[in-house]
A and B are shown apart, each in its own frame.
Chain A
């Protein structure tokens, strides 16, 4: 298996533009997570899906952020409009549903909003 695949690896965009980050989880995994990593706040959970259904989106910072999982093999995280404070590394991870299994992480998308 190729692991969790995220695209793009790097994204530079201007403030106010829409940004879409993409994630393909490991086949057979039915939990998917989006995390944001910054120096100041560390790794923050943004949203968590089980079987394509959002379970906990309390970490989504504001209405500018939205996430979807239309099927078991694809998820998107969208920021519209983007702001400079959204600059961070965004990680997608997947796991089997049970809590006693580890999450596997993608390589991350480094987002820079100028």
Chain B
């Protein structure tokens, strides 16, 4: 079945440490890929997106993601996490002709 999988439900990272959130997709053709962030009580904000070309994409707030076709992955990274990055992160895919399909999300906690 077509799906987006985020294997980690909850991750805790120390402030200043690096971060990697995992995302795998299962589709016949490579869909368009997105990462969104949701702060408590808020809507979803786009961090970055991948359509084609350079497999390393830069986003807002210092985030980047790398598309790896061989692994069907689109992992989100940040070199140094700030306390304000604590939020829920969603990976999403949009296959041709359909709507955005989301993973279950990863909650990021930042410890001081």
Contacts and interface: CB of A to CB of B under 8 A. Distances in A.
Q: How large is the interface on B (under 10, 10 to 19, 20 to 34, 35 or more residues)?
A: 20 to 34
Nearest to A4: B43
Contact of A42 (B42, B96, B105): B105
Interface in B86-112: 90, 94-105
Contacts of B101: 45
Nearest to B43: A105
Nearest to A33: B99
Contacts of B49: 100, 102
B105 A43 contact: yes
20 contacts: A33-B99, A33-B100, A42-B102, A42-B103, A42-B104, A48-B99, A91-B44, A99-B95, A99-B96, A99-B98, A100-B49, A100-B94, A102-B34, A102-B46, A102-B49, A103-B99, A104-B46, A105-B43, A105-B44, A108-B42
Q: How large is the interface on A (under 10, 10 to 19, 20 to 34, 35 or more residues)?
A: 20 to 34
Interface in B14-43: 31-32, 34, 36, 42-43
Say whether chain B's binding surface is mostly helix, strand, loop, or mixed.
Answer: loop
Interface of B: 31-32, 34, 36, 42-46, 49, 51, 90, 94-105
A107 B43 contact: yes
User: Chain A CB within 10 Å — which of B99, B101, B104 has the most?
Assistant: B99
B100 A107 contact: no
Interface of A: 4, 31, 33, 35, 42-43, 45, 48, 55-56, 91, 93, 99-100, 102-108
Nearest to B105: A42
B42 to A, nearest CB: 7
B105 A103 contact: no
